[in-house]
Structure 1
Amino acid sequence: MPQNSNAKNLFLWNWFVSNKYHFIFWAVFLFYEIVAVGLYSGQFSEPGRYIFHYLINIGIFYSHALLVLKYGLENPKSAIWKLPLYLVLEIALFLLIMYCAYHFVNRYTHIITVNNIEINRNFFLGGFIRALYFVVFGTAYYFLATYIKERKKTENLEQQKLHNIIQLSKSENAFLRAQIQPHLLFNTLDFIYLNTKDSSPVAAETIVALSDIMRYAADSTHRDEFVLLGDEIEQAETLINLHQLRNGHNLQIRFWYDDEVKSEKIISMVLLTLVENIFKHGDLFRLEQPAEISINKNGDVLSIKTKNLIKQKPKELNRSGIGMDNIRKRLNYSYGLQANINSYIDDNEHFNVDMTIKKQEINKDNS
């Protein structure tokens, strides 16, 4: 119970602090209207009468500023008739509340000395002027608050713009550094190739294959998201050749594709990731169970399938699905529901991947 009480007190305190300028304004305003005017005229009313009237007056102030103007000006086209209508209804409601409140207060309390209220010209005129007085104040408050809000929004946008400029500058510097580092690496690989091609042709061929793959991967991060599938196929073949060189051409892997798919476009590095997963998790030394990669197009659907015998337990394989998760996220981001990828382990301990993409989405924005 004490915790609830403390939380309630903290909430009230925070609310008071966040609205402190409202309290300061009304304190100054009430001092002027009650004390200053009372001293000037030499007349003061009962405290209950002040409380009664100013609760209603402050109520019309906030209802006008927070409701009437907000919804009346919400649509500029209809504001020309909505705002006057809301204003008339607002003042009429004010007069009705004033009349009903007088009867209620006089019947059950004695804070107001007026025994009855007559609905006459003076009642309507006095109530209308008083309502209009606080409506004007509410209008001024609404536009002041709107101005402050828009100014803060503009300042936030300017700060965000400045932040983006700083981040862009940092990104440009990082990009320049990223360009320098691969450039040095590729020059070094070229130097090693020139010094090994005569003495060790296999090592030289391996260096060339590795350099091509790394150059393609580095370039793909600085160009359009979509690339020709033919380029991906070429790099996949280079990757396969690189692994064959490392293993004395003893790897059992088959790669089929239709020539027509080379002109299709696809997000970069997807095929290479699937092929790399085969080498990372597949048992490729069994002649009777070779790994398979197939790419074909059936109507509007592009299909990429891989299959390989796993060389480790399924539980271990499931823990190393970072590459597959990355592919799923990229496909979802680029194609949405137009792309689908399924991966599973069949009864023969083969890991299968089946990916499909609709053709009309493949070439989107890349014609």
Structure 2
Amino acid sequence: MQHERHTSLDPIRWRTIRLHVLCWAIYVAYEMYMLVLMKVDLEPAYIYILFYSLNISYFYLLSAALTFAFDKGRNQRAKGVLMAAGLILAYILVKFIMNYFVDAPAVAFNVYARGFRKNMPLIFFRAFHFTMLAIFVWASGHIARYRRMADQAEQQRLQLRADKAEVENALMAVQNAYLRQQINPHLLFNALNFTYSRVVDTSPEAARCLILLTGLLRFSLDSTGEDGLVNINDELKEISHLLEINRFRFGDNMHLEMETEGDFENYRIIPLILLTLTENVFKHGNLTNSSSPALIRISITREGELNFFSSNAIKSIPTGRLSKSTGLRNARIRLENTYSAAGFNLCTQTDQDIFTVRLSIRLSGSLVRH
């Protein structure tokens, strides 16, 4: 990944280098052209190469000092300013020494130094010229960078505003869905009550099924306490109602045995787990086979370990659909979210045409005394 990032920056780096080289070439060509127009006797080429190398190096060093002074925080600003001042003085000194070796190498240095006033105006002018050029280019680059940063900040602000609007719309949709969930059960219960009043005199069995179904719906909607749990006995009661509804459905052709063992009164559990596993038997099991009746066994030990076991013949559907049942998958997710620390085990098994479900949960931490 680092190699890819490096190669992706190379074109930008080389483009910048080529741009700087081109700008300096135009600048040097312009000054040489002005010397020709003023009919000034030109020096040998190496003289211009030497002095322009000094000027260009001073330009980039001063730019680096300015960057150090103003981009590294206030603690480094004084150091950066002193660095820039030192570079200016060093540039003037080196320029003076180079002029000496170019203009009068045969003259004693102290004699040349006494004529320093003659060289000072030009030296200070070039120092001021390249100092202002470095400051101008550095400031222009930083203004452009700050403008890009401002544009990016504005884009981020607009994106945050769009994200906020999207979140608000999502929250509104959730609120509307919540309100619909409050309204829909109310309408459903009204419809069930109306249907019950219509059939209670003509079909007591259908009326009884409606009562049981209404109880199951109310249990699924508002059975939990403040801790999000229900008493196991309450869930067992709704399981018995589910069995009663299906007895009306199958009549004498339903072959299912249910066994309970232990004292469930003092224990609580997340709702609908046992009910979901029981409903899975009716959904996928063949309950009309008298030679292989379904079995549901629910027990709890004195140590607070809840055990659920179900066994049923399989309907003529692909066995893979049993292990991928939505009810079983959702039950496993809810168990993992609640009992992963306390410990639970949910496993399914298919043996020829028999499908079994085993669940064990340690409820000792969920013991509630009434």
Given the two structures, how large is their TM-score scaled by the length of structure 2? Answer: 0.58
The answer on 1:275 being equivalent to 2:249 is no
Against the structure 1 CA distance between its residues 222 and 156, is the aligned structure 2 distance closer, same or farther, given a 3 Å change threshold? farther
Please say if residues 261 and 299 of structure 2, whose CA atoms lie closer than 8 Å, have aligned partners that are also in contact.
yes
Aligned 1:1-367 pairs, distance under 5 A: 11-12=8-9, 46-49=51-54, 52-53=57-58, 160-219=163-222, 225-249=228-252, 250-260=254-264, 263-266=267-270, 268-285=271-288, 286=290, 289-312=293-316, 315-318=319-322, 320-345=324-349, 347=351, 349-359=353-363, 362=366
Q: Distance in 2 between matches of 1:304 and 1:150?
A: 58
Please say if residues 282 and 310 of structure 1, whose CA atoms lie closer than 8 Å, have aligned partners that are also in contact.
yes
CA distances 1:172-202 after superposition (whole Å, capped 9, x unpaired): 2222222222222211111111121121111
Sequence identity percentage: 23
**Cα offset, 1:151, TM superposition:** 8.5
Please say if residues 281 and 312 of structure 1, whose CA atoms lie closer than 8 Å, have aligned partners that are also in contact.
no
Amino acid at match of 1:325: R
CA distances 1:197-237 after superposition (whole Å, capped 9, x unpaired): 12111111111112222233344699874333333222222
Amino acid at match of 1:186: F
Against the structure 1 CA distance between its residues 344 and 150, is the aligned structure 2 distance closer, same or farther, given a 3 Å change threshold? same
Against the structure 1 CA distance between its residues 199 and 61, is the aligned structure 2 distance closer, same or farther, given a 3 Å change threshold? farther
**Cα offset, 1:59, TM superposition:** 5.9
Larger radius of gyration, structure 1 or 2?
A: 2
Against the structure 1 CA distance between its residues 254 and 156, is the aligned structure 2 distance closer, same or farther, given a 3 Å change threshold? same
Q: Distance in 2 between matches of 1:220 and 1:49?
A: 86
Against the structure 1 CA distance between its residues 325 and 148, is the aligned structure 2 distance closer, same or farther, given a 3 Å change threshold? same
What secondary structure sits across from 1:312 in the alignment?
coil
Q: Distance in 2 between matches of 1:164 and 1:245?
A: 48
CA distances 1:44-63 after superposition (whole Å, capped 9, x unpaired): 99554455455556667778
Against the structure 1 CA distance between its residues 188 and 146, is the aligned structure 2 distance closer, same or farther, given a 3 Å change threshold? same
CA distances 1:275-300 after superposition (whole Å, capped 9, x unpaired): 11111111223265332231314525
**Cα offset, 1:247, TM superposition:** 1.0
What secondary structure sits across from 2:310 in the alignment?
strand
Please say if residues 305 and 361 of structure 2, whose CA atoms lie closer than 8 Å, have aligned partners that are also in contact.
yes
**Cα offset, 1:330, TM superposition:** 2.1
Q: Distance in 2 between matches of 1:346 and 1:280?
A: 16
What secondary structure sits across from 2:307 in the alignment?
strand
Q: Distance in 1 between matches of 2:292 and 2:174?
A: 50
Please say if residues 232 and 264 of structure 2, whose CA atoms lie closer than 8 Å, have aligned partners that are also in contact.
no
What secondary structure sits across from 1:260 in the alignment?
coil
Q: Distance in 2 between matches of 1:253 and 1:55?
A: 91
Against the structure 1 CA distance between its residues 50 and 261, is the aligned structure 2 distance closer, same or farther, given a 3 Å change threshold? farther
CA RMSD after TM alignment: 5.4
1:78 aligned partner = none
What secondary structure sits across from 1:338 in the alignment?
coil
Q: Distance in 2 between matches of 1:360 and 1:140?
A: 67
Please say if residues 292 and 313 of structure 2, whose CA atoms lie closer than 8 Å, have aligned partners that are also in contact.
no
Amino acid at match of 2:175: E
Amino acid at match of 2:242: L
CA distances 1:114-163 after superposition (whole Å, capped 9, x unpaired): 9xxxxxxxxxxxxxxxxxx9xxx9x9999999999999877766654544
Amino acid at match of 2:196: Y
Against the structure 1 CA distance between its residues 209 and 300, is the aligned structure 2 distance closer, same or farther, given a 3 Å change threshold? closer
Against the structure 1 CA distance between its residues 178 and 260, is the aligned structure 2 distance closer, same or farther, given a 3 Å change threshold? closer
Q: Distance in 1 between matches of 2:365 and 2:158?
A: 40
Q: Distance in 2 between matches of 1:279 and 1:49?
A: 92
Q: Distance in 1 between matches of 2:178 and 2:280?
A: 28
What secondary structure sits across from 1:342 in the alignment?
strand
Q: Distance in 1 between matches of 2:219 and 2:357?
A: 24
Aligned residues: 294
CA distances 1:285-343 after superposition (whole Å, capped 9, x unpaired): 32653322313145253333322232336634446422222222222233335343332
Q: Distance in 2 between matches of 1:171 and 1:222?
A: 23
**Cα offset, 1:246, TM superposition:** 0.7
Given the two structures, how large is their TM-score scaled by the length of structure 1? Answer: 0.58
